[in-house]
Structure 1
């Protein structure tokens, strides 16, 4: 396992901060690069190099690395250095966690949500379906609305917080762009989940959520494998 990369290579695809809190930007950029493999496992996370590449001070880089450490994406060594962890299976692990959390949310939504909340979820899904192929930003917004609406409808504040946290590991966060056919299939799943919620069929809603995330993982693996080092996840 390589522990270093050439100084000019580390984080080559990172972009400098623009109009958002610096630490959030740095954290998102580093996480995306690690999950996409553009900062490979074993790479030393050198604060000076990263701060220079991102055009920020070392403080937000240090804070972002601490967040990455808590997420298991980087490892602190006995000598105090930090290296990127083996994350080949990390995305699959995260999607399994999301599958369980959102399956639970769907079950609770069937029990706790108002009729209006469930109707709104279905209306939103139908609206997204009517739009057909959409740009990445619009698609991502519809996807986030769908998943967090179910979490909110569950009535569990803690579950909502967890789902919001893990939603950060989404297609858009990793930089995967599904094909039109893949997006259409995922949208069909959204409609199927919404229909099960309307019928308050908890078992079917959870089953479809699980099927949905199985497909998300398949798509993610296909795109990351095809894109290789420069690979470009909204679900």
Structure 2
């Protein structure tokens, strides 16, 4: 099935082709994706209403998240994903649990590839959402994860975070397999909390480096 302009732009942002602050030009997008300008224009308008894009004068740029927005996003993500884990513990089929376990086992082979691991991480979380068997919750989590694409870096790039994250994934899946909704929700919350903590540390380190560079250039 051919992807529409909206999906193509979202995927390009998610893949880091377009990063926060990058300007999106209607004609260039139409040429890149091989579509006419009308669907691109409609997609850009839709992304602006969803706060994925922001105005910079007359131009549209990929939005960025400030500290407060980041904190708000992680709060919502933790609540919704914990609910997904709880529901998965009640409704996931044995086949779904096996797929989640297989994903974790396969991801250990890419621990030294943060960007690839980040994509695998998104697939894992999407599979977990689907295992909740609640379409409305999955829709809300899709919106949250679209906003996660506005983060320019992955917390999985932090030293040691990849293996720790996979161990956290395993704890979540073990609780789901056991049918323990409370344990699944708790494990998921702990996972998101650790991811947020790691991201804050990475951002603080990056800001410190930027400040040093700016001071050196002054």
> TM over 0.5: same fold?
yes
| Alignment pair present for 1:199 and 2:178 | yes
Task: Name the CA distance, whole Å, in 2 between partners of 1:25 and 1:230.
Answer: 33
Contact 2:85–2:128 under 8 Å retained in 1: yes
Give the match for residue 174 of structure 1: 151
Contact 2:24–2:59 under 8 Å retained in 1: no
Q: 2:112 aligns with which of 134, 142, 163?
A: 134
Q: 2:200 aligns with which of 213, 221, 230?
A: 221
CA displacement 1:57-85 (0-9 Å, x = unmatched)? 79747853652343387489xxx999979
Give the match for residue 125 of structure 2: 147
Task: Name the CA distance, whole Å, in 1 between partners of 2:130 and 2:169.
Answer: 16
| Alignment pair present for 1:209 and 2:183 | no
Q: 2:44 aligns with which of 57, 64, 78?
A: 64
CA displacement 1:8-45 (0-9 Å, x = unmatched)? xxxxxxxxxxxx865556566599744xxx58xxxxxx
Q: Which moved more, 1:212-221 or 1:59-68?
A: 59-68
Which one has a larger percent helix, Structure 1 or Structure 2?
2
Q: 1:51 aligns with which of 25, 28, 32?
A: 25
Q: 1:26 to 1:155 in 2, by over 3 A?
A: closer
- The runs of at least 4 aligned residues of structure 1 exceeding 6 Å deviation read 80-86
Matched length? 195
Q: 1:61 to 1:91 in 2, by over 3 A?
A: farther
Q: 1:62 to 1:195 in 2, by over 3 A?
A: same
Task: Name the CA distance, whole Å, in 2 between partners of 1:182 and 1:215.
Answer: 9
Task: Name the CA distance, whole Å, in 1 between partners of 2:69 and 2:195.
Answer: 14
The secondary structure found in structure 1 opposite 2:185 is helix
* Aligned-pair Cα RMSD in Å: 3.7
Q: Which runs of 5 or more structure 1 residues have no equivalent in the other structure?
A: 1-19, 40-48
TM-score normalized by structure 2? 0.70
Task: Name the CA distance, whole Å, in 1 between partners of 2:112 and 2:64.
Answer: 35
CA displacement 1:102-138 (0-9 Å, x = unmatched)? 1111111111111221122122212323x15232343
Note the 1:6-21 alignment, pairs <5 A: none
Q: 1:201 to 1:86 in 2, by over 3 A?
A: closer
The secondary structure found in structure 1 opposite 2:179 is coil
